[in-house]
C-alpha cells in the first residue's frame, strides 16, 4: 500500500489575510441598509464606489482610491435613480465609467469626470429602459467593449449595446427569456461566449447569450443554488447555496455535465449568503460570507480532489458587502495577490483586506504574477454580436513593463527609425523597456540614441515622455482625456520610484560585498 502525504506542495499554502490600518480605511461612509443580496461595492485602481443610505431615491458614492480616512458628510453623490440602487459595476475597459441598476427598473451609465467631485451628479450619460420591474443585477462583458448584461425581476436577461450616440436606449440587442423566476447570479467564461446563471427556481443554466439557447441545465435537488461562478479555463462551475438542512454549502460542477456535482461540501449552519471570487492567475478561490467576518480560500486543481482548502481569514466584524480590486491595482512589491474591500455598516467603515504571499525578497516575484487580464478590450461590440470570440488581452504586472491602465489604445504607427541600435532597444509600440536598460552595454547604446535622432528630419523625430510616445497617445483634447493622461503619468512615476528604490538596495548590497572582499584580500 503506497503512502500518501497529508500535505501538498503549493506556493500559496501560506497565504494570509492582512487588514489595513485605521488610517488606510474609509471611515464615516453611510453604507446602505438594503437587504438585497449583492456586493454593494465596486472598485478599480482609481475609485471605490459604494451604495449608500439616502432618503428619497437611490444614490452611491464614488471616492478616489487614495482618499482614505474620514469622509465628509456632505461629500457629493451620484443620485439620479428614483428607487434604491441594487447593483453597481465599473466598466472593465474604462476606469471612469460606471453602470448602476435600481428598483426604478432602469439601468444608468455614468461618466465620472474628476477624481474629486464638487457637486452631486444627477444626469447619466446613458439610460437603458427595457425592464418592467426592478433590475437586480448588471454585468459587463469580459472581452467585448460596451456590451452590458442586465437582469430584472421580470425574469428576463437583456443584452445592451452601448456603442451608440443615443442617450436613451429602449431596445436591447437581445432578450434571454429562459428563466421562470428571478436570476440571482450571472457569470461569464473567459472569452464571454457562455453565460452561467443561478435562478431562484434552484437551477443552474448554461446559456449561449447570442443564440439565446440553454445548453445545460442542472436539476440537482439537494443543492439550492444562490451564486454561480465560472472557474476560468478549467471548464468547471462553482456554486454556493444551501443544503436540504439549510446548511451553507458549496458545489463544483463539470461544465459539460450539470446532472450531478463533482464535489459537494457543507460549510456551516449560518444563514448569510456566500459570495465566491476566483483568481484565474493563481487558481485560488475565495468564499466570502455575508453577515460574518470570514473569508475562506481554496486552491483549484484540474484533478481530484479538485478543491484544496488553504486557510481562513477571520474577523469579529461582519461584512454587509464586499468589493474586489482588479489585479492591475495590486501592490506587487508587497507580494499582494488579491485585495478585498469589506463593508462594515455597524461602524460605517470600509476596510481593505490584502491577501499576501509571504516572501523575504522585495523584488518582483514572477512566479506568482503571470500575465493577467488588462484594461484593453479584445473585441468591439459589433464583432462580438456578429459571432467573434476572443480571449482577454493580457498584460504583465512587472513594474516598468508598460502602462497598465484603461486608456484607449490607438493602432501602432510604422517604425520611423530602422537602425540596428534602435530596433534592439525598443519594446512594443516603440517603447524603450526598463528591463533593457539594466545592462551597462545597453545603457551605452541608449545614450547613443539621441545621436541617431539628430540625423533625422525634425518631423520624423520620436518624442518619448514617461516611456510612451506621442504618436501612440496623441495630446488630450478634452478634460477627461487630460485627467486620464495625468493618472497614467502618476502611475508610471510611482512604478519608476519603486524601481529606483530596488536599484538603490542592490547597489548598497554590492558595495557591502565589495568592501568585505577587499578587507578579506588585505587580511590575506
Q: Residue 474: pLDDT band by 50, 70, 90 thresholds?
A: low
User: From CA 26, how far away is CA 6, in angstroms rounded?
Assistant: 42
Range ranked top by mean pLDDT from 40-44, 79-83, 429-433? 40-44
Residue 254 has what pLDDT?
Answer: 94
Residue 524 has what pLDDT?
Answer: 62
In whole angstroms, how far apart are CA 50 and each of 286, 384, 435?
21, 30, 38
User: From CA 469, how far away is CA 416, in angstroms rounded?
Assistant: 12
User: From CA 419, how far away is CA 430, in angstroms rounded?
Assistant: 13
The secondary structure of 203-238 as a DSSP string is -EEEEETTTTEEEEEE--TT-EEEEEEE-TTSSEEE
**Model confidence at 220: pLDDT above 80:** yes
pLDDT digits (tens, 9 = 90+) for 40-59: 999 999 999 999 988 778 89
Residue 472 has what pLDDT?
Answer: 43
Residue 476 has what pLDDT?
Answer: 67
The 3-state DSSP class for residue 517 equals helix
Query: Does any domain span residue 242?
Result: yes
pTM of the model: 0.75
User: From CA 417, how far away is CA 424, in angstroms rounded?
Assistant: 11
In whole angstroms, how far apart are CA 92 and each of 29, 88, 183, 210, 246?
25, 12, 22, 21, 36
Q: Residue 402: pLDDT band by 50, 70, 90 thresholds?
A: low
For residue 465, give the C-alpha cell.
Answer: 515622455
Helix (H) or strand (E) holding 151: strand 147-152
For residue 304, give the C-alpha cell.
Answer: 481530484
The 3-state DSSP class for residue 50 equals strand
Residue 437 has what pLDDT?
Answer: 39
Mean pLDDT of the chain, nearest integer: 83
Residue whose grid cell is 461582519: 318
pLDDT digits (tens, 9 = 90+) for 346-393: 999 999 999 999 988 778 888 999 999 999 999 999 999 999 999 999
- Residues 354-377, buried b or exposed e (16+ Cβ, 10 A)? bbbbeeeeeebbeebbeebbbbbb
In whole angstroms, how far apart are CA 128 and each of 101, 103, 149, 159?
9, 13, 11, 10
| Neighbouring-strand partners of residue 159 | 149, 174
Query: Does any domain span residue 432?
Result: no
Residue whose grid cell is 482609481: 46
Cis-peptide into 225, omega within 30 deg: no
Q: Residue 305: pLDDT band by 50, 70, 90 thresholds?
A: confident
Average pLDDT over residues 273-286: 95
List, in sequence order, every beta strand (DSSP E) within 39-123: 41-43, 47-52, 58-64, 69-70, 78-81, 85-90, 97-102, 106-111
Lowest mean pLDDT among 98-107, 261-270, 281-290, 402-411: 402-411
Average pLDDT over residues 219-246: 92
Query: Does any domain span residue 354?
Result: yes
Residue 115 has what pLDDT?
Answer: 67
Of the chain, the end-to-end C-alpha distance in Å amounts to: 59
pLDDT digits (tens, 9 = 90+) for 134-187: 999 999 999 999 999 999 999 999 999 999 999 999 999 999 999 999 999 999
The secondary structure of 124-148 as a DSSP string is -SEEEE--SS-EEEEEE-SSBTTEE
Query: Does any domain span residue 133?
Result: yes
**Model confidence at 419: pLDDT above 70:** no
User: From CA 175, how far away is CA 426, in angstroms rounded?
Assistant: 47
Domain that holds residue 340: 16-373
Helix (H) or strand (E) holding 249: strand 248-254
**Model confidence at 264: pLDDT above 90:** yes
For residue 346, give the C-alpha cell.
Answer: 455597524
Q: What is the 8-class DSSP label of residue 123?
A: -
pLDDT digits (tens, 9 = 90+) for 504-522: 888 988 888 888 888 777 7
Residue 262 has what pLDDT?
Answer: 93
The better pLDDT of the pair 121, 360 is held by 121
CATH number at residue 291: 2.130.10.10
User: From CA 384, how far away is CA 147, in angstroms rounded?
Assistant: 9
Average pLDDT over residues 388-417: 63
Q: Residue 475: pLDDT band by 50, 70, 90 thresholds?
A: low
**Model confidence at 451: pLDDT above 70:** no
Query: Does any domain span residue 236?
Result: yes
Number of domains the chain is built from: 1
Query: Does any domain span residue 466?
Result: no
Query: Does any domain span residue 469?
Result: no
For residue 322, give the C-alpha cell.
Answer: 464586499
Beta pairing, strands 168-169 & 126-129: parallel
The better pLDDT of the pair 14, 117 is held by 14
**Model confidence at 39: pLDDT above 90:** yes
**Model confidence at 427: pLDDT above 80:** no
**Model confidence at 255: pLDDT above 50:** yes
Residue 509 has what pLDDT?
Answer: 86
Lowest mean pLDDT among 228-232, 245-249, 409-413: 409-413
Residue 7 has what pLDDT?
Answer: 54
Residue 418 has what pLDDT?
Answer: 35
Residue 3 has what pLDDT?
Answer: 41
Nearest to 348 by CA among 317, 313, 325, 324: 317
Query: Does any domain span residue 346?
Result: yes
What share of the chain in percent tops pLDDT 70?
Answer: 83
Residue 8 has what pLDDT?
Answer: 65
Q: Are 87 and 38 in contact (CB under 8 A)?
A: yes
What share of the chain in percent tops pLDDT 90?
Answer: 63
pLDDT digits (tens, 9 = 90+) for 168-178: 999 999 999 99
Average pLDDT over residues 308-329: 93
Amino acid at each position: 500500500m503506497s503512502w500518501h502525504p497529508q500535505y501538498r506542495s503549493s506556493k500559496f499554502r501560506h497565504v494570509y489575510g492582512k487588514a489595513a490600518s485605521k488610517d488606510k480605511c474609509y471611515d464615516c461612509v453611510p453604507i446602505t441598509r438594503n437587504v438585497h443580496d449583492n456586493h454593494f461595492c465596486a472598485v478599480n485602481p482609481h475609485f471605490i464606489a459604494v451604495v449608500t443610505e439616502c432618503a428619497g431615491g437611490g444614490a452611491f458614492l464614488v471616492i478616489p482610491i487614495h482618499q482614505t480616512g474620514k469622509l465628509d458628510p456632505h461629500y457629493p453623490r451620484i443620485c439620479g435613480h428614483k428607487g434604491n440602487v441594487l447593483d453597481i459595476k465599473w466598466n472593465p475597459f474604462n476606469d471612469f465609467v460606471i453602470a448602476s441598476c435600481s428598483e426604478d427598473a432602469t439601468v444608468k451609465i455614468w461618466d465620472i469626470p474628476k477624481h474629486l467631485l464638487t457637486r452631486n451628479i444627477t444626469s447619466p450619460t446613458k439610460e437603458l429602459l427595457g425592464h418592467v420591474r426592478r433590475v437586480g443585477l448588471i454585468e459587463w462583458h469580459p472581452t467585448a467593449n460596451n456590451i452590458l448584461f442586465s437582469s430584472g425581476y421580470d425574469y428576463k436577461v437583456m443584452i445592451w449595446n452601448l456603442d451608440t450616440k443615443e442617450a436613451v436606449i429602449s431596445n436591447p440587442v437581445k432578450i434571454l427569456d429562459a428563466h421562470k423566476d428571478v436570476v440571482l447570479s450571472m457569470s461569464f467564461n473567459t472569452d464571454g461566449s457562455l453565460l452561467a446563471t443561478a435562478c431562484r427556481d434552484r437551477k443552474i443554466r448554461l446559456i449561449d447569450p447570442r443564440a439565446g439557447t440553454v445548453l445545460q441545465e442542472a436539476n440537482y435537488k439537494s443543492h439550492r443554488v444562490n451564486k454561480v461562478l465560472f472557474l476560468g479555463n478549467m471548464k468547471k462551475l462553482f456554486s454556493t447555496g444551501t443544503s436540504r438542512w439549510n446548511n451553507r454549502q458549496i458545489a463544483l460542477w463539470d461544465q459539460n455535465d450539470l446532472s450531478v456535482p463533482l464535489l459537494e461540501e457543507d460549510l456551516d449552519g449560518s444563514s448569510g449568503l456566500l459570495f465566491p471570487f476566483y483568481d484565474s492567475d493563481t487558481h485560488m478561490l475565495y468564499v466570502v460570507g455575508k453577515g460574518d467576518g470570514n473569508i475562506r480560500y481554496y486552491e483549484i486543481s484540474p484533478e481530484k480532489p479538485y478543491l484544496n482548502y488553504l486557510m481562513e481569514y477571520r474577523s469579529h466584524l461582519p461584512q454587509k458587502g464586499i468589493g474586489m480590486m482588479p489585479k492591475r491595482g495590486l501592490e506587487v512589491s508587497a507580494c499582494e495577490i488579491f485585495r478585498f474591500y469589506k463593508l462594515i455598516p455597524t461602524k460605517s467603515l470600509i476596510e481593505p483586506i490584502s491577501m499576501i504571499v509571504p516572501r523575504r525578497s522585495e523584488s518582483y516575484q514572477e512566479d506568482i504574477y503571470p500575465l493577467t487580464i488588462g484594461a484593453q478590450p479584445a473585441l468591439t461590440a459589433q464583432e462580438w454580436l456578429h459571432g467573434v470570440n476572443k480571449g482577454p488581452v493580457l498584460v504583465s504586472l512587472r513594474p516598468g513593463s508598460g502602462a497598465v491602465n484603461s486608456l484607449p489604445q490607438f493602432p501602432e504607427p510604422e517604425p520611423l527609425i530602422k537602425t540596428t541600435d534602435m530596433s534592439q532597444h525598443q519594446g512594443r509600440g516603440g517603447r524603450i523597456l526598463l528591463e533593457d536598460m539594466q545592462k551597462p552595454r545597453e545603457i551605452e547604446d541608449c545614450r547613443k540614441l539621441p545621436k541617431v535622432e539628430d540625423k533625422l528630419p525634425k518631423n520624423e523625430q520620436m518624442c518619448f515622455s514617461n516611456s510612451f510616445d506621442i504618436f501612440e497617445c496623441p495630446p488630450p483634447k478634452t478634460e477627461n482625456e487630460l485627467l486620464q493622461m495625468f493618472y497614467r503619468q502618476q502611475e508610471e512615476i510611482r512604478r519608476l520610484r519603486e524601481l529606483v528604490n530596488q536599484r538603490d538596495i542592490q547597489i548598497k548590497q554590492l558595495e557591502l560585498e565589495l568592501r568585505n572582499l577587499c578587507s578579506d584580500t588585505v587580511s590575506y
